[in-house]
Amino acid sequence: MTDAGRNTLIVIRHTPYGSSLARAALDAAMAMAAFEQAIDILFLGDGVLHLMPDQDGAAIGVNNVSKLLASLPLYDIDSVYVDAASAAKYRLATSDTPIAGQFLDQAQIQQLLSRNDHLLGF
Amino acid sequence: MVLHTLNAPPDSTAFNDCLAAIAPGDALLLLGDGVYCALTATPACDAILRCSAQLYVLDKDARAAGIIGPPDTVTVTDMPGFVALTARYPRQLAWY
Amino acid sequence: MIYSLLVLSSPVSGQGAQTAAAFAQAVLAAGHTIRRVFFFDAGCYAGADLAVFPQDETDRLGPWVELAEQQQVELVLCISSAIRRGQLDATEASRHEKPCASIHPAFTLSGLGELVDATAHSDRLVTFGG
């Protein structure tokens, strides 16, 4: 491996407001990006609920996760992937989401896992 | 080649998400609550037997849960065996 | 090989944290090295020096302390995860005007940069959650 480090995929499977893990995952992603590490983010299963439009974290006294997602490109985090099957289950359309992500089918998700060096499951 | 470690009971979202992500050449290690997926002749066990991964279950967690006699194709492994799996598979993904 | 561990499991819930400590021991016994164990989210409870467990239960803290003191394994608690869970060293306790430190000295508080460093320089990154 080069001194540039390893490619890391952060897999987010938990809902944005029901668990501290979701925020932990995004903090880790932003830290890696800040240190110029190559990262991908995959929203999988219930994690696709991060992409709900019209979120209002203020209603429960927390930061709005969708605003945080919208700022990811500022950290040069462009490789955001979404589990298409779960998005369809929750009726999430690409046009409404706070961040542009690539929707992947099952085979594409398997390929995404295998082309990263480290996989962090949150 | 991915080593999937499953620490969640059958029919959990982690169980379903994990199975969908398994590709040929992967391995699946059941630990913690995941050991219940090795209960022979249950739907969850049938599902993991059908998946394309090499199957393992962590001995201490299986013993704690009372899992006796998992199917032959689920290898009971100890901690050194777990380490050996992580050495063999370049990447590990935790499901819980 | 160079390993790093990411521990998200709380020592008071489930087996993940205890499995992580046993795994770390087995990694070293197999002749590999550990760059760092990074405790994140609920995993930060691993450093709790003030936790009291029943005497007939497994020691949660001891295995980590042994790894740090006998094998020089670096144990890092993510500072943001830790302090919101009452896991403070003397510096943070003073800074936030809290009555005392609460983490065992075998652990250090630091930022996510330590996790980034671990992922950049390790051959294997093993996560323990749930």
Q: Which of C41, C116, C127 sits opposite A20 (nearest CB)?
A: C41
Chains that touch C (3 or more CB pairs under 8 A): A, B
The interface predicted TM-score (ipTM) is 0.96
Does C78 participate in catalysis according to the annotation?
yes
All structural domains of chain A: 8-121 (3.40.1260.10)
- CA distances B44 to B37, B39, B75, C24, C109, Å, are 5, 8, 16, 30, 41
Q: Which of A46, A110, A118 sits opposite B21 (nearest CB)?
A: A110
Chosen from C38, C115, C116, C124 to mutate, greatest number of chain A CBs within 10 A? C116
A5 confidence band (pLDDT: 50, 70, 90): low
Contact A32, A39 (CB under 8 A): yes
Which residues form the domain of B9? 2-95
Low-confidence ranges of chain C (pLDDT < 50): none
Tokens of residue A30, six digits: 């932003």
All structural domains of chain C: 2-128 (3.40.1260.10)
> pLDDT digit string (tens) for B21-79?
999 999 999 999 999 999 999 999 999 999 999 999 999 999 999 998 899 999 999 99
Q: Which residue has the tokens 């599902």?
A: B47
- Looking at the complex, does the CB of residue C119 fall below 8 Å from at least one CB of chain A? yes
Where b means 16+ CB within 10 Å and e means fewer, C43-73 reads bbbbbbbeeeeeeeeeebbebbbbbbeeeeb
The total number of structural domains that make up chain B: 1
CA separation for the pair A38, C111 (Å, rounded): 19
Q: Which residues contact A71 (CB under 8 A, 6 or more apart)?
A: none
Q: Quick check: B80 pLDDT over 90?
A: yes
DSSP bridge pairs for C75: C37, C107
- Looking at the complex, does the CB of residue C32 fall below 8 Å from at least one CB of chain B? yes
- Which chain B residue shows the shortest CA-CA distance from C127? B94
Contact C76, C37 (CB under 8 A): yes
Q: Which of A86, A84, A87, A82 lies closest to A69, judged by CA?
A: A82
Question: Is B80's CB within 8 Å of C30's CB?
Answer: yes
Tokens of residue C18, six digits: 């205890």
pLDDT at A4: 52
Catalytic residue among C37, C46, C48, C78: C78
Q: Supply the pTM of this predicted model.
A: 0.96
Question: Is C125's CB within 8 Å of A21's CB?
Answer: no
- Looking at the complex, does the CB of residue C13 fall below 8 Å from at least one CB of chain A? no
pLDDT at A99: 87
Chosen from A1, A6, A75 to mutate, greatest number of chain C CBs within 10 A? A6
**CATH code of the domain containing B87:** 3.40.1260.10
pLDDT at C91: 96
